[in-house]
Amino acid sequence: MSTIRYCKLRDTDVIISPKRLHRPTQFHTPTDHYDIDECPFEVGNEDATPNEIYSIKDKNGDWITRVVPNLYNALDIHEENSSKREGFFTSKSAFGAHEVIIETPSHDKTADRYTLENWEAYLKTINHRVEDLSQDSRLKYIQVFKNHGSRAGATLRHPHSQIIATGFVPSEVKNELQRAKDYYEIHNRTLLQDIINEELRIGERVIYENNSFVAFAPFASLYPFEVIIAPKEQIGTMSELTQVKIHELAQILKNVHKKLYATLGDFHYNMIFKNPLTAVESYTFYIQIIPRIYMIAGFELASEMRINPVSPEVAAKKLKEVL
Q: In what order do the strands lie in the sheet with 306-308?
A: 3-7, 12-16, 306-308
Helix (H, G, I), strand (E, B), or coil: what is residue 312?
Answer: helix
Helix (H, G, I), strand (E, B), or coil: what is residue 196?
Answer: helix
For the chain, helix, strand, coil in percent to 5 are 30, 25, 45
Nearer CB in complex with Zn ion: 49/221: 49
Nearer CB in complex with Zn ion: 100/214: 100
CB of 40 to Zn ion, least distance (A): 8
Beta-strand ranges (E) seen in the chain are 3-7, 12-16, 54-57, 63-69, 83-86, 89-92, 96-102, 141-148, 160-166, 206-209, 213-216, 227-231, 269-274, 286-291, 306-308
Find out whether 310 and 224 touch, Cβ atoms under 8 Å: yes
Number of H helices, E strands in the chain: 6, 15
CB of 104 to Zn ion, least distance (A): 9
Of the residues 98, 148, 160, 257, only one is catalytic, namely 160
CB of 68 to Zn ion, least distance (A): 13
The strand pairing partners of 289, in sequence order, are 227, 271
CB atoms near residue 239 (< 10 Å): 18
Nearer CB in complex with Zn ion: 34/261: 34
Is residue 160 part of the annotated active site? The answer reads yes
Nearer CB in complex with Zn ion: 18/69: 69
Nearer CB in complex with Zn ion: 148/274: 148
Nearer CB in complex with Zn ion: 92/113: 113
CB of 107 to Zn ion, least distance (A): 3
Q: To 10 degrees, what angle do helices 171-187 and 191-202 make?
A: 70
Main-chain phi, psi angles of 222, to 5 degrees: -80, -20
What distance in Å separates the CA atoms of residue 207 and residue 315, rounded to the nearest whole number? 9
What distance in Å separates the CA atoms of residue 318 and residue 27, rounded to the nearest whole number? 11
What distance in Å separates the CA atoms of residue 223 and residue 226, rounded to the nearest whole number? 5
List residues binding Zn ion (CB under 5 A): 39, 41-42, 107, 158
CB of 41 to Zn ion, least distance (A): 5
- CA torsion sign, 46 to 77 to 150 to 10? positive
Q: Kindly list the catalytic residues.
A: 160
